Structure 1
């Protein structure tokens, strides 16, 4: 027997105090009166009617007790959700209202109970229990309780910690990870950018694709980009094509095809082959790492590209002023990020963001490994040697982690050994790498590279020193990528890398929270020198941010290289932001002043805001002026964005003294599966397809502007793999005849999964408002429950005998009202609904009926003349 929940509904604006009183009775008893708990009696004084009898509320004394049956419900233990489970609810004893959950070994293990810790008597009962026997949680575990929330369809367990398996915060048992359904998916990001500068016109186009197919636990993925310009024409770059799946028992990912090595010990590089590596995302959330955040400054509507190992991994258009990118997909543990900012006038600036691992410390007992074999892959060089790489890390104790690795290829071998110390003074790491390279027309090279790193959060000063690392390499040391590059151009006339052979490199990332009210500081940067050329390359981004009441202000500085001139530039910027109004949709003004190392000073004023019920329309206006260096210029620009139900649209335009530019873009995703094809404005790697029949237009709370399409489908983007994700639907604007059995579910998908989340909706009948009176002309008692001919609850009587009846499955029938235990406390009355075409929300059926006098039938042929819009608003779901 499958039991589903039905919400009770009450007319409102009909004696608000009475509605509150009765609602509190039902709500509090649903929460407090668990099955088997002591009976609670409620004072019915609030529900007495002038000159009438009181309402019988004894049926609420033990809460909203469920009916016996099997429920597919949420399982929550000590306040932590553990997923969905089949719950067997049975009547205990002769009392029909004493319905409790039955427990077997499978359900106890599902709840995280350590069976070995049960008392001998409880374990014996559990082993001998037959299907006909219902074992209660309290009988098996002293002090444990189980309460079924019939309204939320949730079983709440309270279990002493001594009987539970130990697990970290955020832990989800791998048995309940969801591989999702078979599906095909496509994520796209297309843009066109046109600029006229100094009489030269250029148009650039970009199309980024992330296509894939899911079959069971297997994921086929292809990442690529198509770019176009007048010089190079069309150019398609395949970033990554692979077949992969999660290996749960090994806490690992198997990848076949194009991917990247992890960079934890050796520098990260691309390959084509096979990789089996630990996936830290399978660890509880409290044990996972981090991804870098990119800060920068733009002078106009600029294109920002992020490259790693020569591949474009991110591209977007930003407005003038400071920007931040904090949603990068991780493509490996290492490999510096090259950030290219292309301004509207064609100038390009580049900077490097260090992307290296934190100190390689692991928790005691944990292992991390990676085994990769295949062919080296880099579009910038001709050499593609075969290689094999293996790394391993092990947390030996709270203090010590040991690690090592081997990288071997034709004419190249490299070994690394290291140790990480986790101390009260911070995490220290030190390793040494030896590499030997054989060259055909030059002397062989052999050398070592020593790396020392440090990571610490300084609690007294609230300083977060994310990573400080120094690497020193001897002149004969070459990492694998450099060795391949040299071998590809190996001649007597060319014996070194064009960019230089690195000698020493220092990198630092710091964030500092100041005392309350004083803001925060951040700094990231690196400096390095070379064996075969002079000079030192230094780049950094630093800033200070704070706010005062509704004002925000900050100062930032950066050192970057201008690719057009080849010169390093230093920039400093002051910013001031203030909202122009108090409403959530009020425009926001940002003023910034910038000065660079060439004496050019510029000032920018921008105005941004959002419109629409879901903030799905955004806009921005910008104006700027710069002077210095013997010239001056002014510019204006505008941009707009719209998140539609099927795609995200954007447009931008700007003009200045010597240039003008136009741009437009569209991005979104498509998912095809057995249930149909769904379009969405945003698509991530791990997603959920929400299905709620007849609930078209309902808002999905997980993403801005996300609503169910006309077929009741929506895709929730960017779920956290191997973690709990809450999916929620807002039923605010649903038609009266659609009822959600629940508005929230939770899922724990595997990486790249397309999970299917079904919300049960009740569209089992029509709705009507009836004003019902007894045969002597008095209104039915407030709070009386009304049932249809099959015994299903149709509604509850409100003030003045008004009834909001729903779930009417027949065009004509008889309803029965009951408000007490005596035979005189019940009566029946007929109803006749109008044609469905005439029964819309704007004209809900409304009529008067007489209860107990069948001769006075009043047909509800249409909306009553007295039925106004406010009658509809009187209904509270």
Structure 2
């Protein structure tokens, strides 16, 4: 308090020294004097504040500091502070070649004189002597070096780019991600079925190498038949190749699908890794939207592989956290309702227009065997693609795919214009099938994307035209080859003729809401029907009320007919509280089949919203049939170690129950770390004695009693702030810093340590002099070792921190004379009996330190 008040007095014109040391520093630090008349207190108890007149100057030496360049964090490095001359008290930061390289200074721009100063290791060159208009400032309190460097003197790189020298491969570790669920339902016929699912992702890290395996185990018991099995999605060994900005994969994986369709392979692949580029150049995953009539099971597949499974509550749902295995390949979504009814739809996943910046090249080389869970053949596969940005306007790309009896060549270009981004390419494919005529044909693809700024319209359009029935994708060619090799009929396979995909999101003027549309339409050379499906909706809000309308067309897999649905929803919170329940009403109409009315209630509980719940009731009127009613509930609870979920519903002649768990476990040299969420790149946060501190960069994660927490949401090859919120920590535990930076490589487990200090116990004291006067304001409080532990504030009260023992002696000093000090002994209550709502409070009289008995007569309150 005294220091704070003295700082305020200084800013009012009484003088103060800076804690920031800038370079060069050639002037003496001015001697200042504070006027203690501004401190109110007893007239005969004037406090001695001369210790504040000496300034706050860092000492010469070597420090491990954080480097900030023009406000951006550039890592940590050792910094030497050197005194300029014996008669000058200030020190200056010495620049070294390693430090300046870390700060991204372009050393080629240094003048010969500056380069000579930098090469002289015996000297202490300051930044202003090396770079014109540059400066360096050392913050002693934050242990931070702040550099101000003109932009022209820095190595130019795209915004958000982090050089390989800062990448952290992490520590050796084992990783387990899991997502398990059990789903049981009994249909109107009285027949029950049980579905079990366990999705697993295993990993082993050693240096830059990542061993990964993912797969799923399913168990089904329906109609008296039991089936179970484990499906391996992929197993591979991978690592980053920094000089090529690429990733090397050995084993099972998928091609990226940027130019050709994404397919599975077993072999080797070297390809540019978008994550090593600035964030604006990285890939994306589509959002899956749909409608559910009950507590439904949603399964998402790509190329026959199960990627994701979850349970959703009744009404519209949205899944936006997919980690697809490639950039291309439509997603097949299956929705299983509580009564056993199943419907399916496809989410178009066309490759984005491949426009690149000038001079940027991306490539992909794959060699191995084709693999797919839907065919028995594993023919050889070789594929190469390349993209290059020639100008701001033009990007060219091409590729070649070779396999057993199949060859395809592609050439195309992308135009980035003011009217949008266009992609146009032509593919010629030739297929040789056993005992059948050779097929060949061309595919013309036109893609268009545009964000129309004036109307905030985001439009993506892809049109495919197959000039003849002889054109086949690689996956179709392998299926036909497999059928022909086994002398099976090949006519059932649909041969596409024309396909159109459209995705549109539109934000209207303020107050008018937004709408979305996603759909596709395809016809075939050898079929008369046209397959058309879509999902569309409109959303808006008025004050606390939200409302929307959604429509969809999707295939009912049981009846092989198309379902057309229309749903109207209304929602509003039941009160202004943070955890007030949210009520939602929806009316759904299946055209030609019936209508349903549904009421639901949902909400969250807990400081971090770790517990969520939902209740629902519905009434369905059939098309000429009897009406049915149902009720249901679902919950999700994210604790520090895992996420638990459960659901149940009951209707006319059917019932459903479900439960599941998901999370991540990491084992490393320091022990085990858990997280209720999953991801790709991790940080194990260590903070001794900081149990309960919240990890701000990972929702719901807190430091465990063993001093560890796991963050699963790090972005590879980028700066990730890792922040600890000290709220809830005991006052005896002090964090040396609350934020650190991590720059992991893809799949890494980085170790982030936060230094803590157990400073001892803390208590509130209120003491007066023997004459009954309050202790002087601003007096210093020290323990028996002479260590400052507090400062007296108003009415003789003070908070003492860092008390090493439950009992001891405190000395209060406000001057240099013997009569300007006093002392008293204290006895704190046991730590386990300290009031939960506050700190122990001690009242006593401060006596002459030479008094033989000073123990407090008043027990602590």
The TM-score normalised by the length of structure 2 is: 0.92
1:71 to 39, 55, 63: 63
Instruction: Tell me if the contact between 1:774 and 1:852 (Cα under 8 Å) persists in the aligned partners.
Output: no
CA change 1:129–1:389 in 2 (3 A) is same
After superposition, give the CA deviation of every residue in 1:497-533 in whole Å (9 maximum; x if it has no partner): 6340111111111111111221112111111111111
1:858 to 825, 842, 854: 854
2:194 to 196, 203, 208: 203
Q: Any residues of structure 2 matched to 1:697-716 within 5 Å, and which? A: 697-716=692-711
In the alignment, the residues of structure 1 paired with residue 20 and residue 516 of structure 2 have an alpha-carbon distance, to the nearest angstrom, of 52
Instruction: Report the Cα offset of residue 643 of structure 1.
Output: 1.2
Q: Is residue 80 of structure 1 aligned with residue 72 of structure 2?
A: yes
Q: Is residue 215 of structure 1 aligned with residue 206 of structure 2?
A: yes
Q: Which residue of 2 aligns with 1:461?
A: 455
After superposition, give the CA deviation of every residue in 1:171-212 in whole Å (9 maximum; x if it has no partner): 222211111111111111111111111211111111111111
CA change 1:454–1:137 in 2 (3 A) is same
Instruction: Report the Cα offset of residue 244 of structure 1.
Output: 0.7
Instruction: Report the Cα offset of residue 374 of structure 1.
Output: 0.9
In the alignment, the residues of structure 1 paired with residue 310 and residue 79 of structure 2 have an alpha-carbon distance, to the nearest angstrom, of 48
Secondary structure class of the residue paired with 2:484: coil
CA change 1:200–1:167 in 2 (3 A) is same
Instruction: Report the Cα offset of residue 773 of structure 1.
Output: 5.0
Q: Which residue of 1 aligns with 2:95?
A: 103
Q: Which residue of 2 aligns with 1:722?
A: 717
Secondary structure class of the residue paired with 1:35: strand
In the alignment, the residues of structure 2 paired with residue 46 and residue 343 of structure 1 have an alpha-carbon distance, to the nearest angstrom, of 76
In the alignment, the residues of structure 1 paired with residue 470 and residue 693 of structure 2 have an alpha-carbon distance, to the nearest angstrom, of 64
Q: Which residue of 1 aligns with 2:324?
A: 330
CA change 1:648–1:560 in 2 (3 A) is same
Secondary structure class of the residue paired with 1:362: coil
After superposition, give the CA deviation of every residue in 1:251-271 in whole Å (9 maximum; x if it has no partner): 111111111001111111111
1:752 to 747, 751, 762: 747
After superposition, give the CA deviation of every residue in 1:281-329 in whole Å (9 maximum; x if it has no partner): 1112233232211111100000011100101111110000001111101
1:762 to 734, 757, 765: 757
1:577 to 568, 571, 574: 571
Q: Which residue of 1 aligns with 2:127?
A: 137
Instruction: Report the Cα offset of residue 771 of structure 1.
Output: 4.0
Q: Is residue 427 of structure 1 aligned with residue 421 of structure 2?
A: yes
Q: Which residue of 1 aligns with 2:335?
A: 341
In the alignment, the residues of structure 2 paired with residue 106 and residue 790 of structure 1 have an alpha-carbon distance, to the nearest angstrom, of 42
Q: Any residues of structure 2 matched to 1:113-192 within 5 Å, and which? A: 113-130=105-122, 133-192=123-182
Q: Which residue of 2 aligns with 1:226?
A: 217
Q: Which residue of 1 aligns with 2:20?
A: 34
Instruction: Report the Cα offset of residue 223 of structure 1.
Output: 0.6
More deviation, 811-820/473-482: 811-820
In the alignment, the residues of structure 1 paired with residue 290 and residue 40 of structure 2 have an alpha-carbon distance, to the nearest angstrom, of 67
Q: Which residue of 1 aligns with 2:509?
A: 515
In the alignment, the residues of structure 2 paired with residue 776 and residue 593 of structure 1 have an alpha-carbon distance, to the nearest angstrom, of 80
Q: Which residue of 2 aligns with 1:13?
A: none
Q: Which residue of 1 aligns with 2:673?
A: 678
Instruction: Report the Cα offset of residue 464 of structure 1.
Output: 1.1
More deviation, 281-290/394-403: 281-290
Q: Which residue of 1 aligns with 2:620?
A: 626
Instruction: Report the Cα offset of residue 705 of structure 1.
Output: 2.3
CA change 1:726–1:475 in 2 (3 A) is same
After superposition, give the CA deviation of every residue in 1:422-474 in whole Å (9 maximum; x if it has no partner): 11111111111111111111001111111111111112221111343434342
Q: Which residue of 2 aligns with 1:304?
A: 298
Q: Any residues of structure 2 matched to 1:361-510 within 5 Å, and which? A: 361-490=355-484, 494=488, 496=490, 498-510=492-504
CA change 1:809–1:790 in 2 (3 A) is same
In the alignment, the residues of structure 1 paired with residue 86 and residue 307 of structure 2 have an alpha-carbon distance, to the nearest angstrom, of 66
Q: Which residue of 2 aligns with 1:15?
A: none
In the alignment, the residues of structure 2 paired with residue 30 and residue 285 of structure 1 have an alpha-carbon distance, to the nearest angstrom, of 44
Instruction: Tell me if the contact between 1:62 and 1:97 (Cα under 8 Å) persists in the aligned partners.
Output: no
After superposition, give the CA deviation of every residue in 1:542-580 in whole Å (9 maximum; x if it has no partner): 111111111111111111000011011111111111011
Instruction: Tell me if the contact between 1:735 and 1:841 (Cα under 8 Å) persists in the aligned partners.
Output: no
Q: Which residue of 2 aligns with 1:254?
A: 248
CA change 1:52–1:110 in 2 (3 A) is farther
Secondary structure class of the residue paired with 1:485: helix
After superposition, give the CA deviation of every residue in 1:118-139 in whole Å (9 maximum; x if it has no partner): 3443222111132xx4333333
Which runs of 5 or more residues in structure 1 are unaligned?
Answer: 1-9, 11-17, 868-877
Q: Is residue 558 of structure 1 aligned with residue 548 of structure 2?
A: no
In the alignment, the residues of structure 1 paired with residue 110 and residue 289 of structure 2 have an alpha-carbon distance, to the nearest angstrom, of 55
Instruction: Tell me if the contact between 1:442 and 1:492 (Cα under 8 Å) persists in the aligned partners.
Output: no
Instruction: Report the Cα offset of residue 617 of structure 1.
Output: 1.2
Secondary structure class of the residue paired with 1:268: coil
Q: Report the RMSD for the aligned CA atoms in angstroms.
A: 3.0
In the alignment, the residues of structure 2 paired with residue 601 and residue 576 of structure 1 have an alpha-carbon distance, to the nearest angstrom, of 16
More deviation, 672-681/463-472: 463-472
In the alignment, the residues of structure 1 paired with residue 824 and residue 82 of structure 2 have an alpha-carbon distance, to the nearest angstrom, of 36
Instruction: Tell me if the contact between 1:354 and 1:525 (Cα under 8 Å) persists in the aligned partners.
Output: yes
Secondary structure class of the residue paired with 1:544: strand
Secondary structure class of the residue paired with 1:249: helix
In the alignment, the residues of structure 2 paired with residue 793 and residue 370 of structure 1 have an alpha-carbon distance, to the nearest angstrom, of 64
1:731 to 726, 729, 732: 726
Number of aligned positions between the proteins: 846
Secondary structure class of the residue paired with 1:346: coil
In the alignment, the residues of structure 1 paired with residue 608 and residue 729 of structure 2 have an alpha-carbon distance, to the nearest angstrom, of 16
More deviation, 489-498/751-760: 489-498
Q: Any residues of structure 2 matched to 1:522-601 within 5 Å, and which? A: 522-601=516-595
After superposition, give the CA deviation of every residue in 1:844-876 in whole Å (9 maximum; x if it has no partner): 473536376232553469xx5353xxxxxxxxx
Instruction: Tell me if the contact between 1:816 and 1:826 (Cα under 8 Å) persists in the aligned partners.
Output: no
In the alignment, the residues of structure 2 paired with residue 814 and residue 96 of structure 1 have an alpha-carbon distance, to the nearest angstrom, of 40
Secondary structure class of the residue paired with 1:121: helix
Secondary structure class of the residue paired with 1:195: strand
Secondary structure class of the residue paired with 2:184: strand
Instruction: Report the Cα offset of residue 66 of structure 1.
Output: 4.5
CA change 1:90–1:779 in 2 (3 A) is farther
Secondary structure class of the residue paired with 1:490: helix
CA change 1:462–1:814 in 2 (3 A) is same
Instruction: Tell me if the contact between 2:355 and 2:416 (Cα under 8 Å) persists in the aligned partners.
Output: yes
After superposition, give the CA deviation of every residue in 1:622-675 in whole Å (9 maximum; x if it has no partner): 011121411222111101111112111111110111311011111122111111
Instruction: Report the Cα offset of residue 813 of structure 1.
Output: 6.3
After superposition, give the CA deviation of every residue in 1:821-847 in whole Å (9 maximum; x if it has no partner): x66797474656669667756574735
In the alignment, the residues of structure 1 paired with residue 11 and residue 501 of structure 2 have an alpha-carbon distance, to the nearest angstrom, of 58
In the alignment, the residues of structure 2 paired with residue 817 and residue 247 of structure 1 have an alpha-carbon distance, to the nearest angstrom, of 63
CA change 1:567–1:251 in 2 (3 A) is same
Which runs of 5 or more residues in structure 2 are unaligned?
Answer: none
Instruction: Report the Cα offset of residue 102 of structure 1.
Output: 2.6
Instruction: Report the Cα offset of residue 699 of structure 1.
Output: 1.6
CA change 1:330–1:31 in 2 (3 A) is farther
In the alignment, the residues of structure 1 paired with residue 10 and residue 676 of structure 2 have an alpha-carbon distance, to the nearest angstrom, of 41
More deviation, 537-546/593-602: 593-602
